[in-house]
Chain A
Amino acid sequence: MSRRYDSRTTMFSPEGRLYQVEYAMEAIGNAGTCLGILAKDGILLACEKRITNKLLDEIFETEKLYRLSPNMVCSVAGITSDANTLVNELRLIAQRYQLNYQESMPCEQLVASMCDVKQAYTQFGGKRPFGVSLLYAGWDHHFGLQLYQSDPSGNYSGWKATCIGANNAQAISSLDSDYKSDMSLQEAIPLAIKVMYKIMDQNKLTAEKLEIATVTRTDEGTTEMTIIPRETVAELITKREQEIAQETQK
Chain B
Amino acid sequence: MDFSIGIKGQDYVILAEDMNAAHSIILNQQDHTKMLDLNDHLLLARTGELGDGVQCAEYLQKNIQLYQLRNGYEMRSNAAANYIRKYLADSIRSQEPMNVNILLAAYDTISKEPQLYYIDYMGSMATVPFAAHGHGALFSLGIIDRYYSRSMSRDEALSVLKKCIVELKKRFIVNYTSFNVQVVDSQGIHQLDRIVA
Q: Is B26's CB within 8 Å of the partner chain A?
A: no
In the complex, A100→B76 CA distance in Å?
A: 13
A191 to B168, CA, bound (A): 71
* Chain A, residue nearest B111 (CB): A141
* A108 to B72 alpha-carbon distance, docked (Å): 11
Q: Contact between A103 and B71 (Cβ–Cβ < 8 Å)?
A: no
Contact A142 B73, CB 8 Å, known A99-B86, A100-B86, A101-B83: yes
Q: Does A109 lie at the interface of the complex (its beta carbon under 8 Å from any beta carbon of B)?
A: yes
| Interface membership of A246, Cβ < 8 A | no
Interface contact A101-B71, CB-CB below 8 Å: no
Contacts of A108 in B (CB 8 A): 71
> Is there a chain B Cβ closer than 8 Å to A53's Cβ?
no
Interface size on B, residues (CB 8 A): 11
Contact A103 B83 (CB under 8 A): no
**How many A residues, CB 8 Å from partner?**
10
Q: Is B65 an interface residue (CB 8 A)?
A: no
What is the CA–CA distance of A99 and B87 in the complex, to the nearest angstrom? 11
Known pairs A99-B86, A101-B78, A141-B76; list 12 more (Cβ under 8 Å).
Answer: A100-B82, A100-B86, A101-B75, A101-B79, A101-B80, A102-B78, A103-B76, A103-B82, A106-B71, A109-B71, A141-B110, A142-B73
Can you list 12 A-B contacts with CB-CB less than 8 angstroms, sorted by A residue number? A99-B86, A100-B86, A101-B75, A101-B78, A101-B80, A101-B82, A101-B83, A102-B78, A102-B82, A103-B82, A141-B76, A141-B110
Interface on B for A, CB 8 Å cutoff? 71, 73, 75-76, 78-80, 82-83, 86, 110
Residues of A at the B interface (CB closer than 8 Å) are 99-103, 106, 108-109, 141-142
